[in-house]
């Protein structure tokens, strides 16, 4: 998906297809979302197979859909790849559960992922990032997007308790879940790709739990902690552990790589922004927030209306699927001045909703922010310049906005 929109063009809202994969692979959805925010803040679409959904594109409406579980439930599914069929893990998988059960499970798991809890991991993360960046410093072509897919596993694998021998397979499987139509991850039909990936990931965590129980003791990892979580007065069942472990793996591996590659691409296109950040590393935290706003890698999330609900100047009927377009909310001019300008000094960049909003705000956000901050500190300290070696290739997905290839050539920064 293009992150820097092309020139505006006429948009026929009656013909817009937000599930058209070419719109994200080679097209430009931002002009479409611009028109929708202005003229159709609640947009209804019926797919050729009869499935239908309503879209919200304005910042405030997106926050309401994601934050108001009484009107918009998560317990029928939260990702658009499941549109039309209820999530079989509803009420068990944390991301497909509403409060109060969701709050109980989240609080117990989230205690291990607060900003204070992850701060001691900074040195370990920095060592991993330095190793990751080293091959790019030899002056040859380095495919940042392709290699960045493995970055979260390099960083979080030891934290989660995942052995290095499993990283490649797990990265492939999580990519299959989020982009089943992309030729890099496709295995047969989209449905087959999703089924294979879901089965393999849940099986992996289930087997991990079985081995840990048999071995006894604790290794201090996040997955180990999951085995000891209590929600309310009872421990999690093995099914809950397997599903929530699957969700954590998915969250850890999916969005950070695309924030990295999309933000680096923005800096390459805007050398003045690269120079500004390099001259003042105190700007890195805000660079990260602007990068998250700009890339919005989790492009959307889905909820279902509990009852007939007014929003965006219209009504979503009871049980209607509502897609909250995060990529659009983060370009809403009512919240972000000049939203299609990438500006690392943007005063309110932290108001971005790339991590979601409300009860389901990304539980791993503190770790993701720390990883991104360390990454850009090291990149700016080590790279004197970055140029594109070829045009990027965009992920074929209407759920995750990202790249599969971003070939760059970097020059080592000269020390004074």
Has residue 340 got a pLDDT over 90? Answer: yes
Phi, psi of 394 (to 5 degrees): -95, 150
N- to C-terminal Cα separation, the chain: 39
Q: Is residue 6 part of a domain?
A: no
Q: What is the CATH number of the domain that holds 353?
A: 1.10.630.10
Tell me the two tokens of residue 374. Answer: 């360390």
Q: Is residue 36 part of a domain?
A: no
Q: Summarize the confidence of residues 333-351 as an average pLDDT.
A: 97
Q: What is the pLDDT of residue 267?
A: 98
Q: In what order do the strands lie in the sheet with 383-388?
A: 141-143, 407-412, 383-388
For the beta carbon of residue 253, count every other beta carbon within 10 angstroms: 25
Q: Is residue 146 part of a domain?
A: yes
Q: Is the peptide bond before 266 cis (omega within 30 degrees of 0)?
A: no
Q: What is the pLDDT of residue 33?
A: 96
pLDDT band per the 50, 70, 90 thresholds, residue 88:
confident
The C-alpha atoms of residue 44 and residue 50 are separated, in whole angstroms, by 12
Has residue 338 got a pLDDT over 90? Answer: yes
Give me the domain span that covers residue 266: 103-299+332-412
Q: How many domains does the chain have?
A: 1
**Those residues with Cβ within 8 angstroms of residue 127's Cβ, 6 or more apart along the chain or in another chain:** none
Q: Is residue 83 part of a domain?
A: no
Angle at alpha carbon of residue 289, lines to 41 and 398, rounded to 5°: 45
Q: Is residue 254 part of a domain?
A: yes
Q: Is residue 311 part of a domain?
A: no
CA separation (Å) from 11 to 20, 24, 34, 398?
Answer: 15, 16, 10, 18
Phi, psi of 315 (to 5 degrees): -130, 130
Q: Summarize the confidence of residues 348-377 as an average pLDDT.
A: 95
Tell me the two tokens of residue 176. Answer: 């299959």
**pLDDT for 290-313, tens place per residue?**
999 999 999 999 999 999 999 999
**pLDDT for 200-240, tens place per residue?**
988 988 888 888 878 776 677 777 888 887 777 788 888 88
The C-alpha atoms of residue 106 and residue 95 are separated, in whole angstroms, by 9
Q: What is the pLDDT of residue 248?
A: 79
Q: Is residue 248 part of a domain?
A: yes
Q: What is the pLDDT of residue 263?
A: 98
The C-alpha atoms of residue 281 and residue 136 are separated, in whole angstroms, by 21
């Amino acid at each position: 998906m293009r992150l820097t929109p092309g020139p505006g063009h006429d948009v026929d809202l009656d013909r817009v297809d937000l599930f058209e994969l070419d719109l994200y692979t080679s097209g430009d959805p931002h002009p479409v979302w611009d028109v929708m925010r202005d003229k159709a803040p609640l947009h209804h679409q019926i797919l050729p197979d009869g499935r239908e959904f309503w879209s919200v594109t304005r910042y405030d409406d997106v926050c309401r859909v994601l934050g108001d579980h009484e009107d918009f439930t998560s317990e029928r599914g939260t990702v658009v790849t499941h549109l039309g069929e209820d999530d079989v893990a509803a009420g068990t998988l944390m991301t497909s559960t509403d409060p109060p059960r969701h709050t109980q499970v989240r609080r117990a798991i989230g205690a291990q992922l607060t900003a204070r809890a992850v701060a001691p991991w900074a040195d370990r993360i920095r060592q991993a990032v330095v190793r990751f960046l080293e091959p790019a410093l030899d002056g040859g072509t380095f495919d940042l997007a392709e290699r960045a897919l493995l970055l979260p596993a390099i960083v979080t694998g030891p934290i989660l308790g995942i052995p290095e021998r499993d990283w490649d397979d797990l990265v492939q499987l999580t990519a299959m879940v989020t982009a089943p139509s992309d030729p890099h991850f496709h295995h047969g039909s989209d449905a087959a790709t999703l089924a294979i990936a879901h089965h393999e990931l849940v099986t992996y965590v289930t087997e991990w739990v079985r081995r840990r129980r048999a071995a006894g003791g604790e290794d201090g990892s996040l997955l180990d902690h999951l085995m000891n979580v209590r929600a309310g007065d009872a421990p999690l069942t093995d099914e809950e552990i397997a599903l929530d472990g699957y969700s954590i793996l998915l969250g850890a591996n999916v969005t950070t790589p695309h924030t990295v590659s999309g933000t680096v691409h923005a800096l390459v296109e805007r050398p003045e922004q690269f120079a500004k950040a390099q001259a003042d590393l105190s700007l890195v935290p805000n660079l990260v927030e602007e990068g998250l706003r700009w890339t919005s890698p989790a492009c959307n999330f889905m909820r279902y209306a509990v009852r007939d609900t007014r929003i965006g100047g219209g009504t979503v009927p009871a049980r209607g699927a509502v897609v909250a377009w995060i990529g659009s909310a983060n370009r809403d001019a009512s919240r972000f001045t000049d939203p299609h300008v990438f500006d690392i000094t943007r005063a309110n960049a932290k108001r971005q909703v790339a991590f979601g909003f409300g009860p389901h705000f990304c539980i791993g956000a503190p770790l993701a922010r720390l990883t991104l901050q360390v990454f850009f500190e090291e990149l700016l300290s080590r790279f004197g310049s970055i140029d594109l070696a070829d045009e990027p290739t965009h992920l074929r997905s209407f759920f995750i906005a990202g790249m599969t290839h971003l070939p760059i050539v970097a020059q080592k920064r000269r020390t004074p």
